Structure 1
Amino acid sequence: MITLTDVHKAFGSNRVLRGVNLTIPSGESMVIIGGSGTGKSVLLKCILGLVHADTGSITLDGEDVETASRDTFLARFGMLFQGGALFDSLPVWQNVAFRLLRGSLKRPKDEARAIAIEKLRRVGLKPETADLFPAELSGGMQKRVGLARAIAAEPEIIFFDEPTTGLDPIMAGVINQLIREIVTEMGATAMTITHDMSSVRAIADRVAMLHDGVIQWTGPVTEMDATADPYVQQFIHGRAEGPIEAVR
Structure 2
Amino acid sequence: MIELKDVHKAFGSKHVLRGINLTIESGTSMVIIGGSGTGKSVALKCILGLIKPDSGMISLDGKDVTKGDRDAFLARFGMLFQGGALFDSLPVWQNVAFRLLRGSLKRPVAEAREIAIEKLRRVGLKPDVADLFPSELSGGMQKRVGLARAIAAEPEIIFFDEPTTGLDPIMAGVINELIREIVTEMGATAMTITHDMTSVRAIADNIAMLHDGVIKWTGPVSRIDNSGDPYLDQFIHGRAEGPIEAVR
Unaligned runs of 5+ in 2: none
CA distance in 2, matches of 1:205, 1:218: 11
- Give TM-score scaled by structure 1 length: 1.00
Letter in 1 for 2:12: G
Unpaired runs of 5+ residues, structure 1, are none
Structure-1 separation of matches of 2:189 and 2:27: 4
Secondary structure at the aligned position of 1:224 is classed as: helix
- Matched with 2:199 is 199
Trace 1:32-47 onto structure 2 (pairs within 5 A). Answer: 32-47=32-47
Aligned equivalents of 1:213, 1:136: Cα separation in 2: 40
Distance, in Å, in 2 between the alignment partners of 1:33 and 1:172 is: 17
Question: What letter corresponds to residue 74 of structure 2 in structure 1?
Answer: L
| Aligned ranges 1:86-235 → 2 under 5 Å | 86-235=86-235
Q: Write out per-residue CA displacement over residues 178-235 of structure 1, whole angstroms, 9 at most, x where no aligned residue.
A: 0000000000000000000000000000000000110000000000111110000000
SS in 1 for 2:140: helix
CA distance in 1: counterparts of 2:206 and 2:224, whole angstroms: 9
- SS for the counterpart of 1:124 is coil
Q: How many equivalent pairs are there?
A: 248
**Following superposition, which runs of at least 4 residues in structure 1 exceed 3 angstroms of deviation?**
none
- Output the TM-score relative to the length of structure 2: 1.00
Describe the SS at the equivalent of 2:241: coil
Pairing 1:238–2:211 present: no
Q: CA RMSD in A?
A: 0.3
* Secondary structure, counterpart of 1:125 in structure 2: coil
Shift of 1:69: 1.3
Aligned twin of 2:24: 24
Shift of 1:68: 2.7
Task: Tell me the amino acid that sits aligned with residue 19 of structure 1.
Answer: G
Q: In 1, distance between residues paired with 2:74 and 2:13?
A: 30
Write the deviation string for residues 125-184 of structure 1: whole angstroms up to 9, x where unpaired. Answer: 000000000000000000000000000000000000000000000000000000000000
